[in-house]
Structure 1
Amino acid sequence: MLTIRAARADELPALTTFPNDDERNAATSAYLAGLLEHDCTRPEWCLVAERDGALIGNVVLWTVPGRTVPMDIVLLEPGDPATGQELLAHAADLARSLGAQNQGHVLDTPAQAPQFQRDPQLRETLLAATGFTVARDGCRFLWTAGDPMPAQDARLRWRSLSDLGQEPFVELLADSFADTKDSIWQAEIAEHGLREAAERNLADMLEMDHEPGWFEIGYDERDQPVAASLPARTPSSAVIGLVAVARAGRGQGYATSVVARGTQLLVAAGNTEIRGDCDAGNIAMFKAFQRAGYRNFANRKMFSRPL
């Protein structure tokens, strides 16, 4: 008989383990321990599938530290298809009971630490069967200590949010969103309009771990705001965060300038690994990461379902 329940204290943080797979078991356990420590998840949000006394699958809910409503599924070990469907159904019920209206999940290929999402076709099939659709087909980029530092753009003068206040950031984001190639932002604009989409994205970034001077706008030689840089940290990595280029500044390499600026600030703060994401179809942003010395280490599909 299959039982879906919250993990017991002695089952955390390892949850489902696999024989002869020490690398995966250690990395995933350490990852979940970090999520629990940073209040990105809670023991009662860690569900396991048990059959005949053995754990055969698990699903873990996630949110931004400080929030009480889970936003996404961050870890999923589906076991067999039937078990996976039961786990995803329980994950939906739990999140809905806590006030969530939508639920997301990301699938990275190739499989790698810390999630080790093997059997991607099985996972995609399960997600589709339980109401998920693809919200973004994206690419992931990585810079690590020892890689060349990207050159800084001498054309730009940077001013921080603490100096400018939020309004110039909202205005620049709204302007850049007007012809965005990012599918996530396109969906937000369709639902909320340009101005509110910009406000919501800035609010989300402000919730992330960052230093007061990191969020900046770059001004060109005519003192016009042309680009916004919003790097931050997650519990597992530093991230370039949000890159925005005003429509009047397009075609001048400012997206690369933003990635370079964010990299400089994050490295100065002691970070040795920095990640970034963009839509697979956003060729300009893809090239911006490459020109700044980042490598495309994985592809990431972002899924979402209404609850």
Structure 2
Amino acid sequence: MGEWGDPALVEHPDDAERNAATRAYLAQLLDSGCTRPAWCLVAEDGDGRLTGSVVLWTLPGQEVPLALVLFEAPRDAPETAAALLDAAAATARELGATELEHVVDSPAQAPQFQRNPEDRGELLRASGFGVIRDGRRFVHRAPGAPGALPADDPRLTFRSLAELGPGPFVEALAELLADTADARLAADVRQHGARRAAELLFEETAELKHEPGWWELGYAADGTVAVISLPAENPAVAVIGFVGVVPAHRGQGYATSVVVRGTRVLAAAGATEIRGDCDAANVAMARAFARAGYVNFADRLEFSRAL
């Protein structure tokens, strides 16, 4: 087991697209500070050839790993996979992490191209990872093109974080999370309570690049908060971030309205591609993405391991 000193990866024969994408992704992670050479672990055979890899990942500027990416191991050598995952967990623990996450997309997507997702899931489960969310991924390309998006919902009046400050946003999140269809968020509520889970969600989302004017609460005609929209940018692409409808206003079509609003904000900021996701059980939000012009391009299992 060793570390990388330069951006090199396990090469897959006859898979040039995957090889090029993963090399470019690792270079981007190193350049952006999402990883560093000491966080890049490899397994080698007796002849010094790379047989497996795993890379710890965090948000730019942070020092504690949050997840692992670029996990590769021979399908016929589960012991190599276990050793890599254990080494990544030990390194992350030494750096202050208390849990480590990993996502598996199906079908395989750039830049990681995770072939054989079922096998990957078995390897993760065998190493102490459990599924915390069965998600659906959506994308909207060219959102700023003429006619790409409907107009804002005239029933809603939007006010931004720059105007309101964080307090009303956390309050709206707490109300929303008290009755959520998202398995991961529901688990946070069980662990921390709705108010603290809302604070953590707000803080986590705030770590993504955003402008205070992008984040908005949408008020219904009676003056109560109906929706919350937290669009942002991660190191790779613009994202819807978090959107939701408070329980008292559900069933009125506001889910589509808030996805459209976040999309319009990001498109106005120059985004040419926007991604979003939701729990598979959140059927209303999945429909909202589709009605706002998004395409479900992949499914995503989110795994986590306590350290």
What TM-score range do you get, normalising by the shorter chain?
A: over 0.9
Shift of 1:36: 1.7
Task: Specify which of 50, 71, 75 is matched with residue 76 of structure 1.
Answer: 71
1:36 aligns with 2:30: yes
Q: State the distance in 1 between where 2:262 and 2:270 align.
A: 13
The residue aligned with 2:117 is: 120
Shift of 1:19: 2.4
Shift of 1:270: 1.1
Amino acid across the alignment from 2:13: P
Q: State the distance in 1 between where 2:186 and 2:86 align.
A: 28
The residue aligned with 1:92 is: 89
Q: State the distance in 2 between where 1:245 and 1:32 align.
A: 37
What do residues 158-197 of structure 1 show as CA deviations (whole Å, max 9, x unaligned)?
1110100111001100000111000111111111110000
Q: State the distance in 1 between where 2:4 and 2:239 align.
A: 31
Contact 1:81 1:122 (C-alpha < 8 Å) held by counterparts: no
Amino acid across the alignment from 2:214: W
Question: Structure 1 stretches of 5 or more lacking a match?
Answer: none
The residue aligned with 2:42 is: 48
Q: State the distance in 1 between where 2:210 and 2:232 align.
A: 5
What do residues 204-250 of structure 1 show as CA deviations (whole Å, max 9, x unaligned)?
11111112211110111222211100001111111001012111111
Q: State the distance in 1 between where 2:90 and 2:42 align.
A: 14
Contact 2:9 2:22 (C-alpha < 8 Å) held by counterparts: no
Relative to structure 1, the CA distance from residue 141 to residue 150 in structure 2 (aligned partners, 3 Å threshold; closer, same or farther) is: farther
What do residues 55-80 of structure 1 show as CA deviations (whole Å, max 9, x unaligned)?
11110111122221101112211223
Q: State the distance in 2 between where 1:109 and 1:262 align.
A: 26
What do residues 69-124 of structure 1 show as CA deviations (whole Å, max 9, x unaligned)?
10111221122322111111111111111111111100000012111000112111
The residue aligned with 2:243 is: 243
Amino acid across the alignment from 2:223: D
1:245-260 counterparts in 2 under 5 A? 245-260=245-260
Amino acid across the alignment from 1:213: G
1:287-298 counterparts in 2 under 5 A? 287-298=287-298
TM-score under structure 1 length normalisation: 0.95
Amino acid across the alignment from 1:156: L
Q: State the distance in 2 between where 1:259 and 1:78 align.
A: 38
Q: How many residues align?
A: 301
Q: State the distance in 2 between where 1:8 and 1:19 align.
A: 23
Shift of 1:150: 3.7
Amino acid across the alignment from 1:287: R
1:57 aligns with 2:52: yes
The residue aligned with 1:26 is: 20
1:201-240 counterparts in 2 under 5 A? 201-240=201-240
1:133-172 counterparts in 2 under 5 A? 133-145=130-142, 148-172=148-172
Amino acid across the alignment from 2:65: P
Contact 2:216 2:228 (C-alpha < 8 Å) held by counterparts: yes
SS at match of 1:209: coil
Task: Specify which of 108, 113, 127 is matched with residue 105 of structure 2.
Answer: 108
Contact 1:137 1:300 (C-alpha < 8 Å) held by counterparts: yes
Which portions of structure 1, spanning 4 or more consecutive aligned residues, are displaced by more than 4 angstroms?
Answer: none
SS at match of 1:286: helix
Contact 1:108 1:298 (C-alpha < 8 Å) held by counterparts: yes
1:7 aligns with 2:4: yes
Is 14-23 or 99-108 further displaced after alignment? Answer: 14-23
SS at match of 2:30: helix
TM-score under structure 2 length normalisation: 0.95
Percent identity between matched residues is 56
Q: State the distance in 2 between where 1:35 and 1:218 align.
A: 36
Is 69-78 or 143-152 further displaced after alignment? Answer: 143-152
The residue aligned with 2:200 is: 200
SS at match of 2:274: strand
Contact 1:151 1:292 (C-alpha < 8 Å) held by counterparts: no
Contact 1:150 1:293 (C-alpha < 8 Å) held by counterparts: no
